[in-house]
Amino acid sequence: MPEAAPPPLTDAPGLSRALARHYPRGLHIEPHSHSWAQVLYAVSGVMWVEAGREALVVPPQRAVWLPPGTTHAIHMMSAVEMRNLYFHERDIGHLSKQCEVFQIDGLLRELIKTIAEREHERDEAWLAAASQLAAMELAHAKRSSLRIPLPDATGTAGGSGVSGTSGTAGAADRRLAMLCRAVIDNPSNEIAFEQHAAQVGASVRTLARLFTRELGMGFAQWRRQVQLAIAVSRLAEGQSVSAAARELGYLPSSFSDMFRRELGVPPSEYGPEETLGHAYGHGGPEPENRT
């Protein structure tokens, strides 16, 4: 799996920095942190961002907010056209202290685009004003619910290309982590909870208790979050709604109902034809191994 290193920002001048990047599918950026706050905006493509004990799915025309000092890793679930904004800690007092995914549109989208395009000019007065307005818009942007809690010891999920957090845990927690890896690899409804439990050598009752205690939700709800993450990635790459439904063990109508119930929009909202019209900079910059 290709990896990339984050950029040095310690001595970055001014109130904000902006970067435009293109990353290939499957590229992984190892866990790191910045002293600056960061906005990772997916113009196109899907990112899986791990921060703390949760994964945040960032589809096209969404962005993830990372407060200063947040250790995070990024996996490109498809080719990603990305814009990054970095804010100094002193300029974000009104913004969330938690990692969040936002919808990016209208004025905020144009601000991010223009700041990235003009970053090299270093017009400090303009940059200060534009950055302040972008931060104000972020505070009012619509939040997304595409986030997946993770156990302490989730390892690399080979089938999905998604990495997990690492840590030490007891035997029971390791079994929970093994089950979570298995579900991320294959989140289909066709595999029952009982089958997963048997494969990791734990009782359904024990695992149900661990899900509630460690992840704050039951198995069915947690798997739906994983399914939504995988579905969004597939749809953004052009897979049909019916094909995504079949992969996850749903009838197309049931899948569409679940998708709309959980995310508030139909699956077609995440198809490539719905996001290309919003994306800018077609062709984009050359790939760079920094973010």
Cα separation, 251 vs 244, in Å, equals: 10
CATH of residue 85's domain is 2.60.120.280
Whether residues 101 and 166 fall in one domain: no
CATH of residue 186's domain is 1.10.10.60
Cα separation, 236 vs 228, in Å, equals: 12
Count of structural domains, the chain: 2
Q: Is residue 281 part of a domain?
A: no
Whether residues 123 and 189 fall in one domain: no
Q: 275 or 216, which is more confident?
A: 216
Tens of pLDDT, residues 255-265: 999 999 998 88
Predicted confidence band of residue 273 (pLDDT cuts 50, 70, 90): low
Cα separation, 157 vs 212, in Å, equals: 22
Whether residues 267 and 180 fall in one domain: yes
Cα separation, 15 vs 11, in Å, equals: 11
Which among 45, 110, 80, 58 is positioned nearest to 280, based on CA atoms? 110
pLDDT value of residue 154: 45
Predicted confidence band of residue 131 (pLDDT cuts 50, 70, 90): confident
Domain, as residue range, for 7: 3-139
Cα separation, 132 vs 162, in Å, equals: 34
Predicted confidence band of residue 286 (pLDDT cuts 50, 70, 90): very low
Q: How many CB atoms lie within 10 A of CB 156?
A: 16
Mean pLDDT score, 223-233: 92
User: And the tokens for 184?
Assistant: 């991320």
pLDDT value of residue 8: 60
Whether residues 69 and 189 fall in one domain: no
